[in-house]
Amino acid sequence: MAFTLSGDDAIQELQPSPIPEPYWVAFSSAAATLLNIPLKSDGYPQDDAWLNVLAGNSLETQSQKFSNPIATVYSGHQFGVWAGQLGDGRAILLGDIAGQELQLKGAGKTRYSRMGDGRAVLRSSIREFLCSEAMYALGIPTSRALSVVGSHLPVLRESLETAAVCSRLAPSFIRVGHFEHFASTQNIVRLKELADLLIDHHYPECRNNKNPYLDLFHKISERNAKLVAQWQAVGFCHGVLNSDNISVLGLTIDYGPFGFLDQFQVDHICNHSDHGGRYAYQRQPQIMHWNMACLASAFIPLLELDHSEVEAQTLLTSALSEFPTIYGETWLTLFRQKLGLSAEHDDDMDLIERLLQVMHDSKIDFTSLFRGLADINTNASVSKITLRNDFIDRDAIDQWLGDYITRLKTESSVDADRKVAMNAVNPKYILRNHLAQAAIEKAQRKDFSEVAKLLSILERPFDEQDQYQEYAAPPPPDLESIEVSCSS
Ligand code: AMP
Ligand code: MG
């Protein structure tokens, strides 16, 4: 549902800036079905006008007219420090179709561009496109990506690259930063309008609560606690968990220097600009909690409409304190599923943590290991389990495998059934950095076939796709440590 705040203190009405000679790089026919766009047999829109619309060069197709594109203002905390006013510096919201907001990222400067050029490069646009659709297929709440449109327009980053526009979809792109903006400017009228808009369109059940804004906070915090548990369970690192990159719908948004873990390292940092490791894998839950604290602060004036200052703070502090429990319970549920445990035992947490420790110590490939565990024959001896050979400390993994098999036997686990259940939650295919990089390098040479192929593989991450076994493999040693920067 479109962002309905109006007025100069909230939005800028503007047109996208055109790019020269736009061309299709990628298109998600699955995302297009959300908008009911009729497609040709090649998966691209029947109506060619979509190319120009998704390039930011036109506002009209045969069936759609986007009469009111806008950029919105927000503020936020970047790397733990208050950054003041930010905003859609390169994202322009065209409008909404079928309950989805359609946003163009890289569509030119806005009032909120600060020192930026309003553009995105082909490399980062392909990464956002592929990861959005991959996350969706993994069952993780996310904004969707509809297309990438390229151009020869030069864009300067660490080196000279070319521009692209990624179009993305979400029921709403409202962020924690939007609330922080109006709270920090003490614009309580706007703050309330924003909360009411969110409740009316996305959290209508809060209206029935005697304290709708407190309930809204609860629900946003709950969704984000569950979201970050899902990230941990697939080894996803977001890379830039600034409060302006956190969705109030609990969606994964603003894909930048993200990365999926190859080797399991709890302190893995995917963003090479993150020198202190603030957004390292193991810190994500704590950081998301911190972001929810930023949101709670921004909600104080809303609660103060009906409560004293002390009451407002007490209520929000108490709601915020539920985050670790919700996160922890979700995490435990997800990892139990990953191990194929259907019953709940007191020492499951210990079993899971011991596995993660030996995986960390031996730098084991996260995705392959969990996928491989599904094949364990609980009647064979531990020494026959081939995945043990990947571990440096054989005694530790043998001990763990023995305990795991004993645990499975206590719930009379049936190997074949467990394998089906585990393969439905442990993906075979993830967007590994080296795979994205190979697709990007081809696309930079105007060959977009690898982007399309990766998309089709990642749309079925849990299926065995026999012809694509090599896409499931860990990176070869020379491609293990591709680093991705914030500059995109
Ligand atoms: P990010 O960390 O990529 O989410 O961006 C942080 C802020 O900088 C947001 O307000 C973005 O809109 C803005 N921004 C990032 N890159 C650019 C750019 N190339 N031009 C203008 N604004 C940008
Ligand atoms: Mg952002």
Which pLDDT band holds residue 460 (cuts at 50, 70, 90)? very high
- Ligand 1 atom with minimal separation from the 244 CA: 4
Cα separation, 329 vs 2, in Å, equals 34
Q: Which residues pair with 444 in a beta bridge?
A: none
Minimum-distance ligand to the CA of 90?
1
CA distances from 206 to 45, 197, 226, 329 (A): 38, 12, 19, 23
Most informative mutation of 73, 81, 90 for ligand 1 (most atoms within 8 A of CB): 90
- Rg of the chain taking only CA atoms, in angstroms: 23
DSSP secondary structure letters along 85-116? E---SSEEEEEEETTEEEEEET----TT-TTS
pLDDT at 212 over 80: yes
Residue nearest to atom 23 of ligand 1 (CA): 89
| Mean pLDDT, rounded, for 384-410 | 97
Distances (CA, A) of 381 to 6, 338, 398, 408: 67, 22, 10, 14
Please choose, from the candidates 45, 64, 60, the residue with its C-alpha nearest in 3D space to the C-alpha of residue 15. 60
Q: Please state the φ and ψ torsions of residue 169, each to the nearest 5 degrees.
A: -130, 140
Q: Write b or e for each residue in 339-360: b if 16 or more Cβ atoms lie within 10 A of its Cβ, otherwise e.
A: bbbeeeeeebeebbebbbebbb
**What are the pLDDT digits (tens) for 320-344?**
999 999 999 999 999 999 999 999 9
The structure tokens 């990892």 sit at 335
CA of 445 to the centre of ligand 1 (A): 26
**Confidence (pLDDT) at 1:** 59
Q: Give per-residue pLDDT as tens, 100-139.
A: 999 999 999 999 999 999 999 999 999 999 999 999 999 9
Instruction: Say which DSSP state 472 is in.
Output: G
Select from 24, 3, 206, 176 the least CA-distant residue to 92. Answer: 3
In the structure encoding, which two tokens stand for residue 328, read together?
């922890």
How would you label 147-178 residue by residue, b for 16+ Cβ within 10 Å and e otherwise? bbbbbebebeeeeebbbbbbbbbbbbbbbbbb
409 alpha carbon – ligand 1 mean position (Å): 52
Separation between Cα atoms, residue 150 and residue 446, nearest integer Å:
10
Phi-psi region of 80 (alpha: psi -120 to 50; beta: other; left: phi over 0): left
In 3-state terms the chain splits into helix, strand, coil percentages (rounded to 5) of 45, 15, 40
Residue 16 pLDDT greater than 70, yes or no: yes
- CA distances for 96 relative to 11, 99, 168, 244, angstroms: 16, 6, 11, 21
| 174 CB-near residues (< 8 Å, 6+ apart) | 3, 194, 197, 198, 247, 248, 249
Cα–Cα distances (Å) from 27 to 149, 241, 280, 376, in that order, read 9, 27, 31, 39
Average pLDDT of 7-15?
Answer: 96
Q: How far is the CA of 153 from the centre of ligand 1 (A)?
A: 19
Q: Which of 96, 244, 254, 365 is catalytic?
A: 244
On whether the CB atoms of residues 68 and 95 are closer than 8 A, the answer is yes
Per-residue CA distances from 232 to 13, 140, 237, 338 (Å) = 38, 11, 8, 12
Closest atom, ligand 1, to C-alpha of 119? 19
Average pLDDT for the chain: 97
Residue of 75, 104, 113, 274 with the most ligand 1 atoms within 8 Å of its CB, for mutation = 113
Query: How far apart are the CA of 120 and the centre of ligand 1, in A?
Result: 9
Torsion of CA 214, 216, 221, 224, to 10 degrees: 180
CB 169 near ligand 1, within 6 Å: no
Residue range 24-58, pLDDT digits in tens? 999 999 999 999 999 999 999 999 999 999 999 99
86 lines ligand 1 (CB under 6 A): yes
pLDDT for res 163: 98
> Taking the domains of the chain in order of start, what are their residue ranges?
11-170, 176-331
The pLDDT > 70 percentage for the chain reads: 98
Check residue 486 and give its pLDDT. Answer: 64
Return the residue matching tokens 């969707």.
Answer: 144
DSSP-H helix ranges across 304-393: 309-320, 323-338, 348-361, 366-373
> CB of 238 closer than 6 A to ligand 1?
no
In whole angstroms, how far apart are CA 469 and each of 74, 260, 397, 435? 44, 18, 26, 13
**Token digits for 240?**
């830039």
H/E run at residue 299: helix 284-303
Q: What is the pTM of this model?
A: 0.98
Query: What distance in angstroms lies between residue 89's CA and the mean position of ligand 1's atoms?
Result: 5
Q: Is the pLDDT of residue 483 over 70?
A: no
Q: Is 116 in the pocket of ligand 1 (CB under 6 A)?
A: yes
Q: State the residue for tokens 């502090």.
A: 317
Nearest protein Cα to ligand 1, atom 22 = 89
Span from the CA of 114 to the centroid of ligand 1 (angstroms): 9
**Residue 269 backbone phi and psi in degrees, to 5:** -115, 120
Mean predicted confidence (pLDDT) in 464-469? 98
210 has pLDDT over 90: yes
Q: What contacts 129, CB < 8 A, 6 or more positions away?
A: 26, 28, 145, 147, 148, 166, 451, 455
Annotated catalytic residue 244: yes
Please report which confidence band the pLDDT of residue 478 belongs to, taking 50, 70 and 90 as the band edges.
confident
Residue having the nearest C-alpha atom to atom 2 of ligand 1: 240
The response to whether residue 99 sits with its C-beta less than 6 Å from ligand 1 reads no
Q: Could you write out the DSSP letters of every residue in 157-181? A: SSSEEEEEEEEEEES---BHHHHHH
Per-residue pLDDT tens digits for 248-257? 999 999 999 9
Find out whether 259 and 239 touch, Cβ atoms under 8 Å: yes
Largest CA distance in the chain: 70
Q: Which residues contact 52 (CB under 8 A, 6 or more apart)?
A: 22, 58
Alpha helices per DSSP H over 362-484 = 366-373, 394-410, 415-423, 433-444, 449-458
Which ligand is in closest contact with the Cα of 486? Answer: 1
Test site for ligand 1: of 114, 180, 258, 270, most ligand atoms within 8 A of the Cβ: 114
